[in-house]
Structure 1
Amino acid sequence: MSKAQEKNAEEGILQYLTKQNRPYSAIDVYNNLHKVYGKTVVVKVLESLAQEGKIREKLNGKQKAYVVDQSQFPDVPESEMKFMEKKITDLSEKLKTAQANLRQHQTELKGLTSSMSTEEARIQLGVINNQCNACKAKIAAFEAGGKRVTPEEREKVMKMREKYVSAWKKRRRMANDILDTILESYPKPKKALYEDVGIETDEEYNVKIPSK
């Protein structure tokens, strides 16, 4: 880096620290100045300014912080300090209120952007209406020419179903009891017995006994 570039970096960094008048680490200065100067340049300039007495170097644990020499600033009257503290408090409260309003507006905006637009709602309504009309047409066709099942016929079918399901459960239970008895003295696993005898299970065909 040339002498002119180094001088320019010194002036820029010193001007920034003077304007902000608060301690910063080298990384803070590097980032806050939007990386205009290289990280190595920032560290070198800060150390140089500290050696010249233009800024003060403070060690905070393992990290160094730099701040301008406060002796160059005039003493601030107590009344002005209190005024500034009150102003800071007022501004902090305004900031909290503004942040709360921002969060509320962001939530409202998110809700609005995630909702359907009027045009999208119209299209969706049209799709649903078409589906309803198709269902109505099917119902009308069944009512006009389809054969209806009377309550008596339905009851008869349900009783037959109950009878067959009951028989299914009974025979399944009997078969399992017989197989369990055989397995007590069978030298092979259950799967081998099923294969040897040629037994097909409900599970093999993904068949389940109706619960009702």
Structure 2
Amino acid sequence: MANEAVLKYLTDTNRPYSCADVTVNLRGAFTKSAIQKALDYLSENGKIKCKLYGKQKVYAIVQTDVVVEGDNDIDDYDNLVKTLTQSIADKSNSLKTAEANLKQLTAAPTTDSAKVQIQDIKNKLQKLQNKLDTLRSSSEIVSTEEKKIILSEHDKFLREYRRRKRISSEMLDAVLEGYPKSKKNLLEELCLETDEMADFKLVAS
């Protein structure tokens, strides 16, 4: 039963704990509600002591070998409160960091979407590059206005390519923070190629 298990745990450890601590440390053997009922029962029957710190109830086994009741466990209670306070602060900071990372990853495109976008940009850039090479080698005269339009389109795609490449790099870096292997292994698993791997050379206008 929960009563015996809780009493044995508090006796064996001989340290003060909250209901949540006991529930976790008993590794799910009983529900938190059952643990709380057991603690209340044991406290009401004088088997354990209950002290209230703010809204936090802390329980400890009754010490039978103390001269002045409560004197020897004050430090333990104070240390527990400090530990719990620090634990809450650490978990709050971890939660904020996790939420920030989640927001960043959610805003970034998915891997499949990024692959499609990068390939689309590469294809468009290659077509523009081919057209530009043809125009440069052609003996036909291109008007100044047409040249401006071509160069403007080239610059537009160039900027877009660089922007999406930066987004893809940031997304890849974010994944690598929790990836146990190297960047090369990750690229191979995702079937991705960098510009260098594909021997893609960008020509600026």
Tell me the TM-score normalized by structure 2: 0.34
Structure with greater proportional helix content: 1
Larger Rg: 1
